[in-house]
């Protein structure tokens, strides 16, 4: 164990952990929304994130970006960022809706048990992974750098880079917008109503299928946005990129209180920071182990999570 690294680089580790945690939180929102409405852990959600990374990659290639491209500035930079994020969100959103219709809707209407739905989720996850592997191969693909990752300033030893600021700020804005949407809009009230009691919601005129589709769509959009940010930060993807990250995002959702939108945000940020600290103390090879340890500890001692409030109890 090396605590000297943690103390000497505390500021940098904290900031980098928050950036990584923001990506976890965006993906965790999909787990939280689906669980809040259907009491279902959508284990194929990690592949929805993976499809978002490829959406960002292919859109970048479509406009002529490659490994030799120079970073863009001004309106060209803004336009490129909007393009890769919108395409990634669109692909993940459509994929999430199709996933619900093909893998879950028929089982839900027939009243299938949770184990059956879980098996369907795992099967969908494996299918998407292998389909992309056949399409793109099993090697990593490099995402072209269109943003100059320059250090803007330094605070408490943390180098505040342009890409990290972009990721952290845009992720927080998206999460706040989603929380406000669910809390204040009519569609958001429908989601909360179904989460609280499906039978009563039907009597009140709520279309369950429409709400479920909307829930998967929103979760897919958030995962796609996370996929584009992941590409900007790590600059690589492959067919299995969602496996470990999906477990970490699920851990973040459980840590914050699954079914709680604010809990997903808090859980993601906390997990990212703790993981960053753990890598500094125990070594980078132990980085992924930290998330699994946290998941086990939370399930053992506080299964309701840090906040514990479920989606149906969110205030209008």
pLDDT tens-digit map of 69-115: 888 988 999 999 999 999 999 999 999 999 999 999 998 888 888 88
What would the pLDDT profile of 168-207 be if each residue is shown by its tens digit?
A: 999 999 999 998 999 889 888 888 888 888 878 888 888 8
40-45 average pLDDT score: 91
The answer to which of 8-12, 59-63, 87-91, 216-220 has the lowest mean pLDDT is 8-12
**Ordered structural domains, the chain, with CATH:** 3-313 (1.10.3470)
149-157 average pLDDT score: 85
Q: How confident is the model at residue 311 (pLDDT cuts 50, 70, 90)?
A: low
- pLDDT for the residue numbered 121: 93
The answer to which of 119-123, 269-273, 309-313 has the lowest mean pLDDT is 309-313
| In the predicted structure, residue 268 carries a pLDDT above the cut 50 | yes
DSSP secondary structure letters along the chain? --HHHHHHTHHHHHHHHHHHHHHHHHHHHHHHHHHHHHS---TTHHHHHHHHHHHHHHHHHHTT--TTPPPP-HHHHHHHHHHHHHHHHHHHHHHHHHHIIIIIIHHHHTT--HHHHHHHHHHHHHHHHHHHHHHH-SS-EEPP--S---EEEEETTEEEEHHHHHHHHHHHHHHHHHHHHHHHSHHHHHHHHHHH-HHHHHHTT--HHHHHHHHHHHHHHHHHHHHHHHHHHH-EE-TTTHHHHHHHHHHHHHHH-TT-HHHHHHHHHHHHHHHHHHHHHH-GGGHHHHHHHHHHHHHHH-TT-SS---GGG---
- pLDDT for the residue numbered 316: 38
The answer to which of 31-35, 38-42, 231-235 has the lowest mean pLDDT is 38-42
59-63 average pLDDT score: 95
- pLDDT for the residue numbered 18: 95
């Amino acid at each position: 164990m090396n605590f000297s690294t943690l103390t000497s680089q505390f500021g940098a580790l904290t900031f980098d952990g928050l950036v990584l945690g923001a990506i976890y939180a965006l993906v965790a929102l999909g787990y939280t929304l689906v669980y809040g409405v259907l009491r279902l852990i959508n284990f194929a959600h990690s592949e929805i994130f993976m499809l978002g990374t490829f959406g960002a990659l292919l859109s970048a290639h479509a406009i002529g970006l490659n490994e030799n491209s120079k970073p863009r500035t001004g309106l060209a930079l803004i336009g490129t960022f909007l393009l890769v994020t919108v395409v990634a969100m669109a692909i993940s959103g459509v994929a999430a809706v199709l996933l619900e219709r093909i893998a879950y809707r028929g089982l839900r209407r027939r009243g299938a048990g949770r184990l059956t739905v879980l098996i369907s989720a795992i099967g969908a996850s494996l299918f998407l992974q292998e389909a992309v592997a056949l399409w793109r191969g099993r090697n990593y693909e490099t995402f072209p750098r269109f943003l100059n990752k320059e250090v803007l300033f330094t605070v408490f030893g943390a180098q505040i880079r342009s890409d990290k600021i972009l990721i952290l700020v845009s992720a927080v804005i998206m999460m706040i917008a989603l929380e406000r949407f669910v809390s204040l809009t009519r569609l958001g009230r429908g989601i909360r109503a179904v989460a609280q009691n499906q039978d009563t919601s039907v009597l009140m005129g709520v279309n369950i299928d429409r709400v479920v589709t909307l829930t998967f769509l929103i979760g897919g959009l958030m995962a796609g946005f996370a996929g584009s940010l992941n590409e900007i930060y790590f600059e690589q993807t492959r067919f299995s990129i969602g496996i470990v990250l999906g477990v970490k995002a699920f851990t973040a959702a459980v840590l914050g209180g699954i079914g709680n939108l604010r809990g997903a945000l808090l859980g993601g940020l906390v997990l990212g920071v703790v993981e960053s600290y753990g890598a500094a103390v125990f070594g980078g090879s132990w980085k992924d182990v930290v998330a699994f340890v946290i998941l086990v500890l939370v399930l053992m001692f506080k299964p309701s999570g840090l906040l514990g409030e479920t989606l149906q109890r969110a205030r209008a």
